[in-house]
Structures are given as structure tokens and as C-alpha cells.
């Protein structure tokens, strides 16, 4: 916990730069529940019966229950330190998530927020959102602990 606090303190201070590595998912945990199949079917019917979506041409996800389920059958996960999070498919076994190794890192922007996105393959991306600026160290294609960025 002290290391997490130290990292947070460094990143909040404009005078310091910190190296942020992609998390080891062995310590990641699912913090949100997966939706029940009945809930998914119920929300599919409600969401996709909205005529406004049809008039706007927003029917792609509603063309097939499988498409809707793939998008909505997710649960929130956090890295062990709580800084990174991801919505992970409930069809992916937890052991597979915990065994995944970082295979890439990138920096993006969403308004004033900086997104540090760590890729683990199979569409699995853990993201850290911050107001500080970050840049990828080395190559965006990396492996494990080599996936990191400098943030200040």
C-alpha cells in the first residue's frame, strides 16, 4: 500500500516524473459482478426495442442477441494496486485473466485525461486514467515488465 501511495504522490507533484509499468495481472481482482443471463435478455429487449435507435440507424448491436451479449456480458476488474481497471468479458475464465502478460502499451487522450492503456491480448486492455502527461518508454510493442511509460 505504501508503494501505491508513493506512486500517487509522485504523479500528483509536477516536479517529479515517475515510471509506471503495466500491472501484473496475477494480483488483479474482479470487483464487479457478471450479469445473469436473465438480466442480459431483459436489458436486450428493453434496449433494442427503443424505436429511437432504429430511426437513428443505431441497430448494429441489436441485430443479434449474441452481439449484444458479447458487448454487455462484462465485469469490472482492477489491478492489484487499484490504479488500472478494465471491463473483462465474463466468458473469459479468471485464471486466463490472471495469467495474461502485457504485450503492448499506448498513451491516449480523452478530453483532459491521459489514458495509459496496457494490452494483454484477446481484447484485454487495462487502463489507467490520469491528468498528468505520459509517454511510452521504448517500444509500444513490449513484453511484461518492459511495458511502461514515464508520467509527469
pLDDT in tens, the chain (152 residues): 434 443 444 445 455 689 999 999 999 999 999 999 999 999 998 888 876 666 676 667 888 899 999 999 999 999 999 999 999 999 999 999 999 999 999 999 999 999 999 999 989 999 999 999 999 988 888 988 899 999 99
Give 35's DSSP letter: P
Within 10 A of 54 (CB to CB), how many other CB atoms are there?
12
8 Å CB contact between 22 and 126? yes
Q: Which residues contact 83 (CB under 8 A, 6 or more apart)?
A: 4, 7, 20, 23, 128
CA distances from 49 to 43, 73, 94 (A): 10, 19, 33
pLDDT of residue 3: 45
pLDDT at 58: 65
At residue 64, the pLDDT reads 86
Q: Residue 16: what pLDDT?
A: 65
Q: What pLDDT sits at residue 53?
A: 65
Separation in Å, CA 72 to CA 2, 54, 76, 118, 144:
36, 19, 11, 21, 29
Domain edges within the chain: 17-34+73-151
User: Rounded distance, CA 137 to CA 131, Å?
Assistant: 18
Amino acid at each position: 500500500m505504501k508503494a501505491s501511495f508513493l506512486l500517487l504522490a509522485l504523479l500528483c507533484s509536477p516536479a517529479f516524473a515517475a515510471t509506471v509499468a503495466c500491472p501484473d495481472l496475477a494480483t488483479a481482482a474482479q470487483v464487479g459482478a457478471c450479469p445473469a443471463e436473465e438480466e442480459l435478455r431483459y436489458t436486450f429487449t428493453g434496449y433494442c426495442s427503443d424505436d429511437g435507435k432504429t430511426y437513428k440507424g443505431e441497430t448494429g448491436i441489436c441485430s443479434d442477441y449474441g452481439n449484444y451479449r458479447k458487448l454487455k456480458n462484462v465485469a469490472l476488474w482492477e489491478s492489484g494496486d487499484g490504479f488500472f481497471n478494465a471491463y473483462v468479458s465474463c466468458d473469459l475464465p479468471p485464471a486466463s485473466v490472471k495469467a495474461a502478460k502485457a504485450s503492448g502499451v499506448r498513451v491516449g487522450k480523452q478530453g483532459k485525461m491521459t489514458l495509459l492503456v496496457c494490452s494483454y491480448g484477446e481484447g484485454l486492455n487495462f487502463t489507467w486514467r490520469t491528468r498528468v502527461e505520459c509517454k511510452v518508454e521504448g517500444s509500444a510493442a513490449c513484453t511484461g515488465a518492459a511495458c511502461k511509460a514515464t508520467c509527469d
